[in-house]
Amino acid sequence: MTPAPPPEVARLSSDALTERVSMAVRGLRPTIAELDRASDPAGLEALVDVWLSTPEFGAMLRDLHADAWGLRIDGEEQWPPVGPLAKFSQADLATSLGEEPLKLVEDVVMSGRPYTDILLTNELMADEIVELANPITREAGEGWTHATWADGRPAAGILVSTALWRRYTTNLSGKHRQRGLFVAQRLLCDDLRARDFPVVPLEGIIDEAGIDDAVSTDPNCVSCHATLDPLSAFFWAFNDNLRGSDVSAAYDNGCVRNTADHCYPVHHYQPQDEGDWALYDLPAPGYYGQQAETLADLAVRIAADPRFPQCTARRFEAWFTDTPWNLVSDARADALTAVFTSSGLDARELVKAIVLSDEFASAAPEEGEGVPLLDVRPEAYARALEGLTGLTWSANPDHADCSAQGKCWGDSELMLGVRYGYRVLGGASDGVIIPATIGASPTRVAAYGALAAELAGGVVDADFAGTGTPHLLDRVGPTTDNEAEVRMQLAALHLRILGERVATDSDVVDETWTLWHGEASRSNPVTAWKVTIYALFTDPQMWLY
């Protein structure tokens, strides 16, 4: 007897799917014209091709890799705005210096180059701040342009990034192992820490020498360190942990003698130290038993390793479906890897395969059938509201005499910061200690509500100021109270903000009209629009997609 075919999983409506894909790919609500275009079955794929060339997609790529690689650590100690960088704020430095490896990934993907170029290129991306802070040669131009390292670093893409190894520091005990672990875990999905091994007895391990002996002789330690230590040996040329206080101290000491390398441009990489692993009788550089001597060799080995594209596919799927990377099924990872490799490692094709899949289009799926409702991440929520209002939620936390003390931070976009901002409250990682969270939380509700309130009030004031094209309120004025006109505007807002096609006399607009009219009667029409738009900005359809 032939078994019955499995029941078809219901698909999202055209508008709902367009909303989901647009938010996933670029963190923006689709326009009315885009919703109309996607009603044609081929229209959504054509739109995705357009969206994959936009700056917002580039920003999403940076968000993805910042999360996957544990970057954006503005809550940690930063290099200071001194010397040639004194004209910038501390926030400017934290943002530019931290985005350096992420901007390289964005450039590789947006230009259609093979994803392995993030490892193999001799270039980095740099703006004026990155240029002044590091020994590089940069193409002329404003903003982010192509550059090359000028201190002897090999062609190894992100593997020679100062920002990356400022994030993953080391010390005498660590011996660059956190950097080797980054290669195994973040690039190959080989989580060495998750391997099964017995508890290591600590008797006799009372000093540094005891630790060094254990990791090279104790079978319980060797099982991990035989892989980790050769990977870690590639990174001895990078400074252990060059802190902002080290840079400040170098300037206080006049940037002379042994402090000169800590002044801008900071020499974080010292080629003469590449072989210092031998001073501690550690294993020579190597890659899972394969010969490799330099960081350029390491880059080539990783790029040729089939685990690299598979891990990339796994991490992209994890990001777009709110799934821990290690819980992405092997079958799904293999299917996406096949698409990725057959495209010549074009990461845009990998993204398309995820967001245009049947699983991504499923409506209210049972467990294992498709992708459930997804939480809007703080970066995407901020972009979505900026796209709707033209505004950002920013503030300056500095006190009046900060410049005298040399402790000015500068303007901060509050949903994107950690030290001064609420990115972690919105569910994102701080890049160091606090992991990203999936699902609703009281802190996310509070942070998103504050952002929505700020921008709802701001867009109403701006639209009624009459100084430019209105972003949302294009059918009413500050004194309009005619019910028919207000309902027309409410229906337009439901479509523009929530993607809902509703009639002016529908139950949905009835409810929103009741809210608007109640506030207008209590206070005035302007306040009523602020309250109403706030309610739409905090609707569950804005926080889930």
Write the pLDDT tens digit of every residue in 276-295.
999 999 999 999 999 999 99
The answer as to whether 67 is a domain residue is: no
Burial grade of 55 (CB within 10 A; 0-12, 13-18, 19 or more): exposed
Cα dihedral sign for 531, 533, 537, 538?
Answer: positive
Q: In this structure, is residue 470 part of a structural domain?
A: yes
Over range 316-338, report the average pLDDT.
96
pLDDT in tens, 171-221: 988 999 999 999 999 999 999 877 655 555 555 555 666 566 656 666 556
Determine, yes or no, domain membership for 345: yes
Cα–Cα distance measured from residue 6 to residue 469, given in angstroms and rounded to the nearest whole number: 51
Within this chain, do residues 178 and 107 fall inside the same structural domain, yes or no? yes
The Cα 293–Cα 306 span in angstroms is: 20
Q: Are residues 296 and 358 in the same domain?
A: no
What per-residue confidence (pLDDT) applies to 170?
Answer: 96
What pLDDT does 258 receive?
Answer: 84
Rounded to whole angstroms, how far apart are CA atoms 460 and 527?
9
Q: Which residues contact 484 (CB under 8 A, 6 or more apart)?
A: 504
Is there a single domain that holds both residue 261 and residue 353? no
DSSP structure class, residue 262: G
CA–CA gap between residue 133 and residue 163 (Å, rounded): 11
At 530-542, the pLDDT tens digits run 999 999 999 999 9
Q: Which class for 433: exposed (0-12), middle (13-18), buried (19 or more C-beta within 10 A)?
A: exposed
CA-based nearest residue to 75, from 421, 537, 328, 402: 421
Q: Are residues 333 and 461 in the same domain?
A: no
| Mean pLDDT value across residues 31-44 | 93
Query: In terms of residue numbers, what domain contains 2?
Result: 1-51+306-373
Residues 6+ apart with CB under 8 A from 236: 176, 273, 274, 275, 276, 277
Q: Is pLDDT at 41 greater than 90 in this prediction?
A: no
**pLDDT for 202:** 56
Structure-block tokens of residue 45:
């794929």
Q: Rounded to the nearest 5°, which phi and psi values hold at 11?
A: -100, 150
Based on the structure, what is the number of domains in the chain?
A: 3
The pLDDT score that the predictor gives to residue 63 is 98
Tell me, yes or no, whether 356 and 464 share the same domain: no
Residue 516 lies in a domain: yes
Q: 384 and 290 in one domain?
A: no
* pLDDT score for 364: 77
Q: Which amino acid is at 531?
A: V
In this structure, the strands spanning 394-395 and 412-413 are antiparallel
Residue 347: give its domain's CATH number.
1.10.3130
Q: What is the pLDDT of residue 370?
A: 85
Interatomic CA distance for residues 42 and 321, integer angstroms: 23
The pLDDT score that the predictor gives to residue 217 is: 63
Beta-carbon neighbour count of residue 348 at 10 Å?
20
Domain boundary among 355, 373, 391: 373
Weakest-pLDDT range from 302-306, 407-411, 459-463: 407-411
Say if residues 273 and 237 touch (Cβ distance below 8 Å).
yes
Task: Report d(CA 404, CA 418) in Å as an integer.
Answer: 24
How far apart are alpha carbons 102 and 79 in whole angstroms?
18
For 3, half-sphere exposure in the C-beta direction (CA atoms, 13 angstrom radius) is 3
At 458 the pLDDT is 98
Query: 21 and 360 in contact (C-beta within 8 Å)?
Result: yes
- Quick check: is 58 in a domain? no
In sequence order, the 6+-apart residues with CB closer than 8 A to the CB of 166 are: 97, 242, 268
Q: 300 and 312: one domain?
A: no
- Measured in degrees and rounded to the nearest 5, phi and psi for residue 290 equal -95, 145
Question: Is 471 contained in some domain?
Answer: yes
Length of the chain: 545
Q: What is the pLDDT of residue 216?
A: 62
Pair 19, 137 in one domain: no
Q: Does some domain include residue 85?
A: no
Question: Any bridge partners for residue 149, and if so which?
Answer: 136
* Whole-number pLDDT of residue 199: 56
Average pLDDT over every residue of 146-155: 97
pLDDT tens, 45-80?
A: 999 999 999 999 999 999 999 999 999 999 999 999
Name the E strands within 234-335: 286-287, 290-291
Let me know whether 273 and 178 are in one domain.
yes
316-322 average pLDDT score: 97
* Whether residue 109 is found in the same domain as residue 218: yes
Q: Please, which residues have CB within 8 angstroms of residue 328's CB and are 6 or more apart in sequence?
A: 314, 317, 318, 321
Average pLDDT for 452-478 = 97
Local confidence band at 246 (pLDDT 50, 70, 90 cut-offs): very high
pLDDT band at 137 (very low <50, low <70, confident <90, very high): very high
pTM flag (> 0.85) = yes
* Residue 444 confidence (pLDDT) above 60: yes
Q: How many other C-beta atoms can be found within 10 angstroms of the C-beta atom of residue 4?
A: 6
Q: Which residue has the tokens 């001194």?
A: 82
Q: Which amino acid is at 143?
A: G
Q: Answer yes or no: do 324 and 454 share one domain.
A: no
Question: Are the C-beta atoms of 473 and 403 separated by less than 8 Å?
Answer: no
Q: What share of the chain is helix, strand, coil (3-state, %, to 5)?
A: 55, 5, 40
- What's the pLDDT score for residue 366? 78
Enclosing H/E stretch for 509? helix 507-522
Q: Distance between CA 230 and CA 86 in Å, rounded?
A: 40
398: pLDDT confidence band, cut at 50, 70 and 90? very high
Amino acid at 99: E
Residue 142 above 90 pLDDT? yes
Final residue in a domain of this structure, among 280, 304, 328: 304
- Cis-peptide, bond into residue 265, ω within 30° of zero: yes
Which whole number is the average pLDDT over 318-339?
A: 96
The per-residue pLDDT for 198 is 57
Q: Tokens 């509500």 sit at which residue?
A: 449
- Residue pair 209/173 in contact by the 8 Å Cβ criterion: no
Is residue 19 a part of any domain in this protein?
yes
Q: What is the pLDDT of residues 89-100, one digit of tens each?
A: 999 999 999 999
Mean of all residue pLDDT scores within the chain: 93
Same domain, 142 and 222: yes
Single out the residue in 349, 373, 397 at which a domain terminates: 373
Helix ranges restricted to H, 111-198: 117-120, 128-133, 162-167, 177-182, 188
Confirm if 308 and 340 have CB atoms less than 8 A apart. Answer: no
